[in-house]
Amino acid sequence: MRLITRNTDYAVRALSYISRQEEKVISVSELVEKIKVPRPFLRKILQILNKKGILVSYKGQGGGFALAKKPQEIFLTDLIETLQGEIKLNECLFKKMFCPDIKNCGLKKKIETIERYVVSQLKSITIASLSNNGCKTHNC
């Protein structure tokens, strides 16, 4: 059970790298060379982040990707939700089918509490905070 999968991890690395450069617009070629991730997969990830308004893209020669927001405004939760789907730890596996009293389910309540905590913690992590602390080139 992983909180963060590889596409989110790659996204963090890429965004983190971009945020540390003088030039705003960074090409996929440069990213691939610097953060060592598979090129076609990274392109797919960056295109998704572009559509979601986290990156802006520039086509043509000299083009590439730039941050659409300040690094301190890009939250880890945004990346996880965009690339892995909604953060939802408490999905009841039997829905309305059998469960006679879903509202008072003890397990569900417990997991909802856990989920709220996890989300609040992840929200406190931004690209800015990751770039400034710990390992700068690879956020493992």
Q: Which of residues 121-140 bind a copy of itself (CB under 8 A)?
A: 121-122, 124-125, 129-130, 132-135, 137-140
CA 11 remoteness from chain centre? 6
Q: Which residue bears the tokens 């960056």? A: 46
Total residues binding a copy of itself (CB under 8 A): 50
* Whole-number Å distance between alpha carbons of 48 and 124: 23
* Whole-number Å distance between alpha carbons of 31 and 28: 5
116 binds a copy of itself (CB under 8 A): no
Q: Residue 118's binding partner, choosing from DNA, a copy of itself, none, with beta-carbon cut-off 5 to 8 A by kind?
A: a copy of itself
Helix, coil or strand: residue 73: helix
User: Which of 47, 132 has the CB closer to DNA?
Assistant: 47
User: Which of 3, 24 has the CB closer to a copy of itself?
Assistant: 3
Q: Residue 79's binding partner, choosing from a copy of itself, DNA, none, with beta-carbon cut-off 5 to 8 A by kind?
A: none
Find the radius of gyration of the CA atoms of the chain.
Answer: 18
